[in-house]
Amino acid sequence: MSFITSLTRSWLTRSFRAFRFTNANDRSLPYQNTENLGLYIHIPFCRSLCDFCPYCKVVYREELAKSYIATLKREIELVGADGMERKKVTTLYFGGGSPALVADEIGGIVETVGKYFEITEGIGLELHPCDVTEETLRMLHKAGVTRISIGIQSFSDEYLDVLGRGKIDYQQMFWELQSVPFETVSMDFIFALPGQTLERVKQDIDTAFANGANHIAIYPFIDFTYTKRKFEKMPEAVKKKLLADITEYCDQQGYVRDSIWTFAKPSVKKYSSMTRENFLGFGCSATTLLMDQFKINTFSIPDYIKQVENGLLPTALTLKFTPRQRMLYYLFWTAYTTKVDASAFKQFFGEKLTHCYGFELLLARMLGFAKKDGDCYTMTPKGAYFYHYYENYYTLSYIDQMWNLMRVNAFPEELIIR
Ligand code: SF4
């Protein structure tokens, strides 16, 4: 597996140089001149922990949550104070964990963010289905949240059990959901569960769109080495067919594919928590992506608090990009939207996409992975499948390796990913 990712990395970065993350801890971040900057805030608290979940999270404790939120505001102040003036950003996204568990604190956090950043395209937030109550939704709406993303995973009791989640009263959730309007209501699902057929996925999709969702995300089950799995993995060929069938079904229903795994009603504004050219991340395990670097904060909540209390950024590892590494990173995440716009690439890097990756683009077109439409390269369903397949490799080779280390070491010396 790592052979495939190493080969691809060497080929596309035109270098055998591995990704080398060090414990360099820059006091200030050069974000002031970046365009299309997004913000991410990580809230690592959950009511209980689900077996399949790879993210950085702990069980909610009020006292810990209070001191975490105070620290989070301090981190925002530390980074924000670097700016000469209030910086325009696209979106602010709260992920976790279950950020809605601290719904009463979201307004205060948004206020702190607002001192330094002007949000132009709305605020998104993830919710566990049990947090979808009228009271919580009202608090979020009042705080300025415009997009909610509910982690349903499945409407079926059988699959909730497989994933290590208890039963959920979805009828109650649908009813509560009607009480407060949001611009985007997204519901997240996992597919490739044992014995899952298209019919069962269709039931989830139809139920979501019939009960308040105008956007859905359907992610494949990813088997991280450190999460629990109590079932056999779906064979790749079956998964490939299922993904193709889901895509076709959504297309027939008139839903627009706005990224590899997301589909929306046509009137919905484009929405993804994953695709930003640049972003600043706050909170434990949050990542930051800028022109010259990628950095990740410590996963340890006590160390996060201690570090920020000492006036330092909670950065655990930093990768300083070579120009080609940055291009690869840009293309990987832009391709997630199923489109790569050559003029946006030129604007971002000052170089023509065809000069840098002309051969690869030609090959992608010849193999039927992409088609060219004006200045834009769009992935075909075949290309989308292979991207999805490669993304799975990438997740297991890179993200799994990094998160596995970060879970046990608050501030590692270095990490080399080949
Ligand atoms: S899936 Fe959601 S609720 Fe479950 S442990 Fe992960 S973040 Fe928490």
Which residue's CA is the nearest one to ligand 1's atom 6?
Answer: 53
Question: Ligand 1 centroid vs 46 CA: distance in angstroms?
Answer: 6
**Ligand 1 pocket member 298 (CB < 6 A):** no
One-letter identity of residue 255: Y
The CATH number that applies at residue 234 is 3.80.30.20
Distance in angstroms (rounded) separating the CA atoms of residues 285 and 41? 10
The verdict on residue 202 lying in a domain is: yes
For 251-263, what is each residue's pLDDT tens digit?
999 999 888 889 9
| pLDDT, position 381 | 82
Which residue's CA is the nearest one to ligand 1's atom 1?
Answer: 53
Same domain (yes/no): 189, 329: no
Q: Which of 219, 235, 264 is the last residue of a domain?
A: 264
Q: Which two tokens mark 22?
A: 């060090």
Annotate 237-290 with DSSP letters as a single string: HHHHHHHHHHHHHHHHTT-EEEETTEEE-TTSPP--SS--SEEEEESTT-EEE-
Q: Are 418 and 328 in contact (CB under 8 A)?
A: no
Q: What is the DSSP letter of 234?
A: P
Q: Which of 229, 264, 299 is the last residue of a domain?
A: 264
The CATH number that applies at residue 382 is 1.10.10
Kindly give the number of the ligand 1 atom that is closest to the alpha carbon of 49: 5
The verdict on residue 314 lying in a domain is: no
Same domain (yes/no): 202, 343: no
Same domain (yes/no): 170, 227: yes
Same domain (yes/no): 8, 26: no
Phi, psi for residue 122 in degrees, rounded to 5: 100, 170
| pLDDT, position 387 | 81
| pLDDT, position 14 | 65
Same domain (yes/no): 25, 9: no
Question: Ligand 1 centroid vs 226 CA: distance in angstroms?
Answer: 15
For the chain, what percentages of helix, strand and coil (3-state, to nearest 5) are there? 45, 25, 35
Q: Which two tokens mark 183?
A: 């611009």
| pLDDT, position 350 | 92
Residues of the chain with pLDDT under 70: 1-16, 269-276
Question: Ligand 1 centroid vs 162 CA: distance in angstroms?
Answer: 14
> Measured between alpha carbons, how far is residue 193 from residues 52, 61, 240, 330 in Å?
11, 32, 13, 31
Same domain (yes/no): 159, 81: yes
The verdict on residue 367 lying in a domain is: yes
Sequence-separated (6 or more) residues with CB below 8 Å from residue 188: 149, 150, 151, 152, 153, 216, 217, 218, 219
Q: Which of 264, 283, 304 is the last residue of a domain?
A: 264
Find the domain containing 147 and state its range.
Answer: 20-264
Question: Ligand 1 centroid vs 116 CA: distance in angstroms?
Answer: 30
Same domain (yes/no): 105, 28: yes
Q: Are 78 and 311 in contact (CB under 8 A)?
A: yes
The verdict on residue 108 lying in a domain is: yes
Same domain (yes/no): 12, 77: no
Q: What is the DSSP letter of 35?
A: S
| pLDDT, position 50 | 87
Which residue's CA is the nearest one to ligand 1's atom 4?
Answer: 50
**Type and span of the H or E element at 74:** helix 62-80
Which residue's CA is the nearest one to ligand 1's atom 7?
Answer: 97
For 100-148, what is each residue's pLDDT tens digit?
999 999 999 999 999 999 999 999 999 999 999 999 999 999 999 999 9
Q: Which of 190, 243, 248, 187 is nearest to 215 (CA)?
A: 187
The verdict on residue 293 lying in a domain is: no
Domain count, the chain: 2
Q: Are 227 and 52 in contact (CB under 8 A)?
A: yes
Same domain (yes/no): 145, 8: no
| pTM as predicted | 0.91
Kindly give the number of the ligand 1 atom that is closest to the alpha carbon of 126: 2
Pocket test for ligand 1, best of 52, 53, 188, 229 (most atoms within 8 A of CB): 53
The verdict on residue 302 lying in a domain is: no
**Ligand 1 pocket member 122 (CB < 6 A):** no
Kindly give the number of the ligand 1 atom that is closest to the alpha carbon of 151: 2
Which residue's CA is the nearest one to ligand 1's atom 3?
Answer: 46
Same domain (yes/no): 46, 9: no
The verdict on residue 276 lying in a domain is: no
Same domain (yes/no): 9, 40: no
Tokens 């325009």 belong to residue: 88
The verdict on residue 311 lying in a domain is: no
| pLDDT, position 392 | 74
Same domain (yes/no): 33, 71: yes
